[in-house]
């Protein structure tokens, strides 16, 4: 079970031998009236606990409860909690919800929306030996018992554009704010969970507050889309299809829970592999299905599009190009990546007259994240921006992608990459639908709503260091 989360997440304190009471970093607050003297605890035959005071008065003690979300964030005793999570957000859960929904009364029924990530689509296309557009269209047919099937490439436009804006703001205030740069990408939840848990308040100021494409999609579906359809946000059940399991953790973050309507922006995340399981369960082969026209949130989408800059979203590429133009008036045609120690650590530089204007890097995989953070701690990080991803080779190689048979894993990955890059690359700034939504619904990039919809925050997790934690 542990093997399914990204390597970065796994390495955070997983141990089968810890007693939960010692390692749990989520101290549970139980309502208790403070007593003057020590009390005795009596355990009843039915397992309930009673606190017996000195005067003989017995008070039943409340059972300590920890929510699954708390557990997952902590990873202190995740080994058994994991399997609960995985079953709570899985294709089985989706089937269950769909069945329930079908049987429910009309006014109770929810509108089910599925947002598919381009990485998952490429992985499915490779596995089913289909072209990308065909895969998208046939997948839409397969998921017909849901109401809408969207593409998270759309929300990624917002993520990329807002990241560009955020970078410029940070770059311009670097003199007054020592923590403004380097800016570190925030789309990867494996990296975020690791950063919050291991490096906490030191690194959090550096992490971009722009939300990931998944979560922006969540805000758009439960916000804009809900409004368009005259639905309350809790009447929509939003499912996303993602290349990894870490995205399940991201969806369950309290920051992405809408308090007013008591609904999550993303209700359920299923991985590419789980979609395959669904297909197999139904005995359906994707290639046998008829293609259906693609859904869009607004506007017509005649064809698929993608973004430049690799399978992890292209954050480095877009921020670099935009900054070069806006800060230095330099138009960058194509970006040259220079690999460093290994292929998952690459540099990009903008120079003029021998002066380095912009210095960016890609750091994928745990060892590179380690080296990056250590350099940062020693004040030796030369970069303005780093695209950090937990998985070696990026999202196309996520833990939830489909493992292809035959051929080396390198060849398989290249096949998925080629499929991923096959559509026309679009510049987010040129997307009409994005511009319209921004103007009419967000009220402009700098608006209050834009801030709410496009940004989030992070929380350092404090760990108790006590002698009890030592394992000799």
* Interface residues toward other proteins, by CB under 8 A: 7, 10-16, 198, 341-343, 366-367, 370-371, 374, 377, 392, 470-471
373-381 contacts: CB < 8 A, separation 24 or more?
373/199, 373/203, 376/182, 376/203, 376/206, 377/202, 381/182
Which of 264, 239, 234 is CA-nearest to residue 98?
A: 239
Q: Which is nearer to other proteins, 291 or 392 (CB)?
A: 392
**H/E element, 9:** helix 7-10
Q: Which is nearer to other proteins, 319 or 372 (CB)?
A: 372
Rounded to a whole number of angstroms, the minimum distance from the CB of residue 360 to other proteins is 19
> Quick one: CA torsion of 204, 308, 268, 455, rounded to 10 degrees?
40
**Rounded Cα gap, residues 325 and 376, in angstroms:** 27
Rounded to a whole number of angstroms, the minimum distance from the CB of residue 371 to other proteins is 5
Q: Which is nearer to other proteins, 184 or 324 (CB)?
A: 184
What is the DSSP-derived secondary structure letter of residue 245?
S
Could you check whether the bond before residue 460 is cis, i.e. omega within 30 degrees of 0? no
Q: Which is nearer to other proteins, 338 or 343 (CB)?
A: 343
**Rounded Cα gap, residues 436 and 414, in angstroms:** 36
- Neighbour tally for 426: CB within 10 Å: 17
Which residues on adjacent β-strands are paired with residue 40?
Answer: 52
Rounded to a whole number of angstroms, the minimum distance from the CB of residue 343 to other proteins is 6
Alpha-helical segments (H) within 130-281: 132-142, 153-172, 189-194, 200-203, 213-220, 226-228, 246-251, 272-281
Q: Which is nearer to other proteins, 330 or 460 (CB)?
A: 460
Q: Which is nearer to other proteins, 262 or 466 (CB)?
A: 466
- In the chain, count H helices and then E strands: 19, 16
Rounded to a whole number of angstroms, the minimum distance from the CB of residue 315 to other proteins is 23
Q: Which is nearer to other proteins, 59 or 370 (CB)?
A: 370
Rounded to a whole number of angstroms, the minimum distance from the CB of residue 243 to other proteins is 20
Rounded to a whole number of angstroms, the minimum distance from the CB of residue 14 to other proteins is 8
Rounded to a whole number of angstroms, the minimum distance from the CB of residue 212 to other proteins is 24
**Rounded Cα gap, residues 234 and 247, in angstroms:** 21
Rounded to a whole number of angstroms, the minimum distance from the CB of residue 249 to other proteins is 18
* Contact criterion met (CB below 8 Å) for 131 and 251: no
Rounded to a whole number of angstroms, the minimum distance from the CB of residue 366 to other proteins is 5
> In a 3-state reduction of DSSP, which class is residue 263?
strand
Q: Which is nearer to other proteins, 18 or 357 (CB)?
A: 18
Q: Which is nearer to other proteins, 4 or 367 (CB)?
A: 367
What is the DSSP-derived secondary structure letter of residue 103?
H
**Rounded Cα gap, residues 117 and 312, in angstroms:** 11
> Quick one: CA torsion of 336, 392, 188, 161, rounded to 10 degrees?
20
Rounded to a whole number of angstroms, the minimum distance from the CB of residue 400 to other proteins is 18
Q: Which is nearer to other proteins, 54 or 409 (CB)?
A: 409
């Amino acid at each position: 079970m542990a093997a399914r989360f990204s390597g970065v997440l796994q390495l955070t304190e997983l141990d089968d031998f810890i007693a939960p009471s010692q390692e749990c970093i989520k101290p549970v607050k139980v309502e208790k009236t403070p007593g003057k003297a020590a009390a005795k605890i009596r355990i009843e035959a039915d397992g309930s606990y009673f606190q017996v005071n000195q005067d003989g008065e017995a008070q039943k003690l409340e059972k300590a409860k920890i929510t699954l979300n708390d557990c997952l964030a902590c990873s202190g005793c995740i080994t058994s909690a994991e399997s609960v999570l995985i079953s709570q957000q899985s294709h089985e859960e989706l089937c269950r919800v769909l069945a329930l929904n079908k049987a429910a009364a009309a006014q109770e029924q929810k509108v089910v929306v599925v947002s598919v990530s381009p990485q998952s689509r490429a992985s499915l296309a490779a596995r089913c030996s289909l072209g990308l557009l065909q895969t998208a269209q046939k997948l839409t047919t397969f998921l017909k018992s849901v109401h809408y099937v969207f593409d998270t490439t759309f929300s990624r436009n917002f993520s990329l554009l807002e990241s560009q804006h955020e970078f410029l703001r940070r770059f311009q205030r670097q003199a007054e704010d020592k923590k403004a740069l380097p800016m570190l990408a925030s789309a990867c939840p494996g990296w975020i969970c690791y950063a919050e848990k291991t490096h906490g308040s030191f690194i959090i100021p550096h992490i971009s507050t722009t939300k990931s494409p998944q979560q922006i999609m969540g805000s758009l579906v439960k916000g804009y889309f809900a409004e368009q359809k005259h639905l309350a946000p809790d009447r929509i059940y939003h499912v996303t299809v993602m290349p990894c399991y870490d995205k399940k953790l991201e969806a369950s973050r309290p920051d992405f829970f809408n308090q007013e309507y008591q609904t999550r922006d993303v209700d359920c995340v299923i991985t590419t592999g789980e979609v395959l399981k669904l297909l197999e369960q139904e005995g359906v082969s994707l290639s046998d299905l008829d293609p259906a026209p693609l859904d869009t949130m607004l506007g017509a989408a005649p064809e698929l599009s993608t973004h430049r800059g690799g399978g992890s979203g292209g954050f480095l590429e877009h921020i670099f190009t935009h900054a070069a133009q806006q800060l230095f008036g330099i138009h960058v045609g194509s970006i040259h990546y220079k690999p460093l120690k290994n292929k998952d650590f690459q540099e990009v530089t903008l120079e003029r007259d021998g002066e380095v204007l912009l210095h960016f890097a890609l750091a994928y995989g745990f060892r590179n994240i380690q080296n990056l953070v250590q350099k940062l701690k020693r004040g030796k990080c030369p970069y303005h921006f780093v695209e950090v991803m937990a998985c070696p080779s990026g999202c196309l190689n996520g833990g939830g992608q489909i493992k292809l048979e035959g051929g080396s894993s390198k060849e398989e990955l290249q096949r998925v990459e080629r499929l991923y890059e096959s559509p026309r690359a679009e510049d987010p700034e040129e997307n009409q639908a994005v511009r319209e939504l921004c103007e009419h619904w967000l009220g402009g990039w700098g608006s209050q709503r834009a801030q709410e919809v496009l940004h989030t925050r992070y929380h350092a997790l404090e760990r108790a260091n006590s002698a009890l934690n030592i394992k000799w």
